[in-house]
Amino acid sequence: MSKFIISTRINDEFQFNLKAENGQVILTSQGYTTKASCENGIESVRENSAAIENFECNKSSDNRDYFNLKAANHQVIGTSEMYSSKTAMDTGIASVMKSAPLATIED
């Protein structure tokens, strides 16, 4: 089953990673100052991942594809890994859309 993993960064901020059923990280959050804020970020991912228009496709400086998931206020709530192709990125988006709503939370 897919899951959100909450961890603490070196600077004591909290972050989450969404892992697909195969264990691969498919979305990473920003840093949060409190665990409660991080958990709110997870709920935002669950809500906003249902709509394709909330996914923003981008190119990195070295021309690799990646996406951001944005909330209704257009704030980025998660960023994907870098992909080797647009097709692979599209598969990543589909995986987030499928996985996020039912993912469990571990910390």
Q: Which CATH architecture has domain 3-106?
A: Roll (2.30)
Per domain, the residue ranges of the chain are 3-106
pTM for the complete prediction?
Answer: 0.93
Terminal-residue alpha carbon distance, the chain = 16
Give phi and psi for 2, each to the nearest 5: -75, 155
Mean predicted confidence (pLDDT) in 12-30: 95
Dump pLDDT digits (tens) for 46-97.
999 999 999 999 999 999 999 999 998 999 999 999 999 999 999 999 999 9
The tokens describing 5, both together, are 């993993």
**pLDDT score of 26:** 96
